[in-house]
Amino acid sequence: MRLSQVDEALDAATARLLEAEERTRAAAYRLTDDRLRFQVGVAVTRLALAAEMDCRADEIRLDRTCPDCGRPHGKVRVAGPRPGWEVSVSHSGDLIGVAVGTIAPLGLDVEQIRAVEAAVAPLVLTPSEERQVRTAADFIRFWTRKEAVVKATEDGLRQPLNLITVTAPTEPPRLLAWTERDPITAGIQLHDLADRNGHLASLAVLSPDEVTITEHDAQPLLRA
Ligand SMILES: CC(C)(COP(=O)(O)OP(=O)(O)OC[C@H]1O[C@@H](n2cnc3c(N)ncnc32)[C@H](O)[C@@H]1OP(=O)(O)O)[C@@H](O)C(=O)NCCC(=O)NCCS
């Protein structure tokens, strides 16, 4: 879903899909675009899960309790009405992405293609990966693959991304190594999703089993 597609009517319609705690969080954003990214992410999550579970969007129960501090800003968990669903949400620039599935925990990362400060590169890449970066898009592709992994495991950026090695942007996505966590790498699969309007996205699935991934534009869900 693209932020540029959100008009006043869609703003109001997505706001109605937020629960009290989510409304409090939405109201705390200083910038309208940040509020909309959060709000549309919540709305698409509820609508996509409701479509999959064949229930109403307001029946979907989401839990974002952070395991570290108890505040509602952690990875989204589906608390009901049906068990076994996994979600991951990501937003960057103009794009908001939501992954839902039943196979295993998911990690989605969306990043707008942009140049980042040179000082950031060694925090994200291993020295060998740094040598493989030719363009801003190369760097962002490394980034989406790695952040998808740490979002699937729920570590987030507490895990330094430069401890993780993934394949080069020109190669099929694969997690190659994760310093101090290496036995875990065999159980994590990576997928690159379609490039959209200057944004790249990757999805990590915490399972070695083959999965089928289908991509949809969320616009029809929101307009329904
Ligand atoms: C998760 C994280 C990697 C997201 O980074 P980002 O590139 O800014 O944001 P993205 O748009 O890709 O993802 C945001 C979504 O990630 C999800 N998320 C939050 N914490 C997460 C975690 N630990 N693992 C996986 N997903 C998480 C949320 O759904 C969030 O969406 P929301 O803000 O609409 O609720 C980063 O925020 C992070 O590392 N957070 C946890 C680290 C931390 O310090 N935790 C302790 C706080 S007390």
Q: Is the pLDDT of residue 182 over 80?
A: no
Ligand 1, atom nearest to 108 Cα: 12
CB contact at 8 A, 147 and 164: no
| pTM higher than 0.85 | yes
- Under a CB-based contact definition with an 8 Å cutoff, are residues 36 and 3 in contact? yes
Q: What angle do CA 199, 13, 46 make, to 5 degrees?
A: 65
pLDDT higher than 80, residue 183: no
Nearest protein CA to atom 27 of ligand 1, as residue: 75
Instruction: Summarize the confidence of residues 129-138 as an average pLDDT.
Output: 96
Q: Are 55 and 75 in contact (CB under 8 A)?
A: no
What residues are paired with 95 via a beta bridge?
A: 2, 92
- 38-78, pLDDT tens digit by residue? 999 999 999 999 999 999 999 999 999 999 999 999 999 99
Hey, what domains does the chain have and what are their CATH numbers?
Answer: 1-102 (3.90.470.20), 106-209 (3.90.470.20)
Distance between CA atoms of 15 and 27, rounded to whole angstroms?
10
Q: Which residues line ligand 1 (CB under 6 A)?
A: 38, 41, 64, 66, 68-69, 74-76, 89-91, 109, 147, 151, 154, 156-158
Residue 185 clears pLDDT 90, i.e. is over it: no
* Tokens 């839990």, located at residue: 63
